[in-house]
Amino acid sequence: MKVTVDPDKCQGHNRCYALAPELFDVDDYGYASAKGDGTVPPELADKARLAAANCPELAITIDET
Amino acid sequence: MTGAPVSDWTTDYDIFDPDYVVDPTPVWDDLRSTCPIAHTDRWGGSWLPTTYADVSAIAHDVEHFSSREITVVPPPEDDIGPGGLAIPVPPIDCDPPVHTWARRVLLPWFSHRRVDEYEPITRDLCNRLIDGFIESGHADAAADYAQQIPARVIALTLGVPGDMADTFTGWVRDVLEFAHDEQRRNAGRDAIALYLMEKMEERRDEPGDDLISVLLHTEVEGEPIPDIHVLGTAALTLIAGVDTTWSGIGSAMWHLATHDDDRRRLVAEPELMPTAIEELLRAYSPVTMARIVTDDITVDGCPMKAGDRVLMNFPAANRDPAAFDLPDEVHLDRAVNRHLAFGVGIHRCAGSNLARMELTVAVQEWLRRIPEFRLADGALVTWAGGQVRGPRTLPVVFP
Using CB atoms and an 8 Å cut-off, which of residues 96-135 of chain B contact chain A?
104, 107-108, 110-113
CA distance B51 to chain A (A): 14
Q: ipTM for the complex?
A: 0.97
Show pLDDT as tens, one digit a residue, over chain B (399 residues): 457 899 999 999 999 999 999 999 999 999 999 999 999 999 999 999 999 999 999 999 999 999 999 999 998 888 888 878 888 999 999 999 999 999 999 999 999 999 999 999 999 999 999 999 999 999 999 999 999 999 999 999 999 988 898 999 999 999 988 888 889 999 999 999 999 999 999 999 999 999 999 999 999 999 999 999 999 999 999 999 899 999 999 999 999 999 999 999 999 999 999 999 999 999 999 999 999 999 999 999 999 999 999 999 999 999 999 999 999 999 999 999 999 999 999 999 999 999 999 999 999 999 999 999 999 998 899 999 999 999 999 999 998
Residue B173, exposed/middle/buried by CB under 10 A (0-12, 13-18, 19+)?
Answer: buried
The CATH architecture of the domain made up of A2-63 is: 2-Layer Sandwich (3.30)
CA distance A31 to chain B (A): 10
What is the pairing mode between strands B395-397 and B138-140?
A: antiparallel
pTM, full prediction:
0.96
Distance CA A51, CA A4 (A): 11
- Spatial CA neighbour of B313 closest among B334, B290, B292: B290
Q: Decide if B345 touches A, using CB distance below 8 A.
A: yes
Q: Decide if B336 touches A, using CB distance below 8 A.
A: yes
* Beta carbons of B281 and B339 less than 8 angstroms apart: yes
Residue B218, exposed/middle/buried by CB under 10 A (0-12, 13-18, 19+)?
Answer: exposed
- Spatial CA neighbour of B290 closest among B48, B42, B122: B48
What single DSSP character describes residue B145? I
Q: Decide if B348 touches A, using CB distance below 8 A.
A: yes
Distance CA B64, CA B284 (A): 28
| Residues of B whose CB is below 8 A from A27 | 111
Measure CB to CB from residue A13 to each of B108, B335, B342 and give the nearest one. Answer: B342
| Residues of A whose CB is below 8 A from B337 | 53-54
Each residue of A11-63: pLDDT tens digit?
A: 999 999 999 999 999 999 999 999 999 999 999 999 999 999 999 999 999 99
Go through the domains of chain B in sequence order and give each one's CATH number.
18-397 (1.10.630.10)
Using CB atoms and an 8 Å cut-off, which of residues 30-59 of chain B contact chain A?
56
Distance of CA B137 to the CA centre of its chain: 30
